[in-house]
Amino acid sequence: MAGHLGIAVMALGTLLTAGLPTAYTLGATRPAQAEAMTPDLAPSAPVGDQYLARSADGFFYASAEVNGRKVRLLIDTGASAIMLSTAEATRLGVPVKALAYHERVMTSAGSVPMARVMIDHMTVAGRTFQDVPAMVTPSSSGIGLMGQSLLARFQVVSISGDTLKLS
């Protein structure tokens, strides 16, 4: 029994250090609607709950609109805010030339400079949010992250199997 416990602890340690985004609630089942989902947001209930299917790369992505412009974001529950590259922020209408990158943020790639911005309107999972804090990094590429500055505005963010639920 002690050998099985050691293997389980090693497996858990590997999972926790693999750099995968985590969520508030982990479970073992998934809704019946999961089979019909796409990797991006797929509504499966008339109002309220929205489900996302895990992408082939193991992550969850959401299609969103920022100030009326479409964007695909990686859901990262370990990130404190929305994080965008300068190129993505420019495409979304953020006035990046006026930004000063005086602060630093710790990312999986290490410490990087960043500037704080406020997103006026952001729509995701059928809900529109106003005044969403975000960070812009001076990189020219990379997918944006959807972090806690938006995720915390949902009542439920949970993962069950290969399904992420937002409600």
> What are the pLDDT tens digits along the chain (167 aa)?
444 333 333 333 332 233 333 332 222 223 333 333 434 444 333 346 889 999 999 999 999 999 889 999 999 999 999 999 999 999 999 889 999 999 999 887 789 999 999 999 999 998 999 999 999 999 877 899 999 999 999 999 999 999 999 99
Nearest to 89 by CA among 117, 111, 61: 117
Q: Which two tokens stand for residue 107?
A: 């990312």
Residue ranges of the domains in the chain? 21-84+117-132+143-166
- Residue type at 63 in one-letter notation: S
Q: For the domain 21-84+117-132+143-166, what is the CATH code?
A: 2.40.70.10
pLDDT at 46: 39
For residue 99, give the DSSP letter: -
pLDDT at 38: 38
Which helix H or strand E contains 134, and what residues bound it?
A: strand 127-137
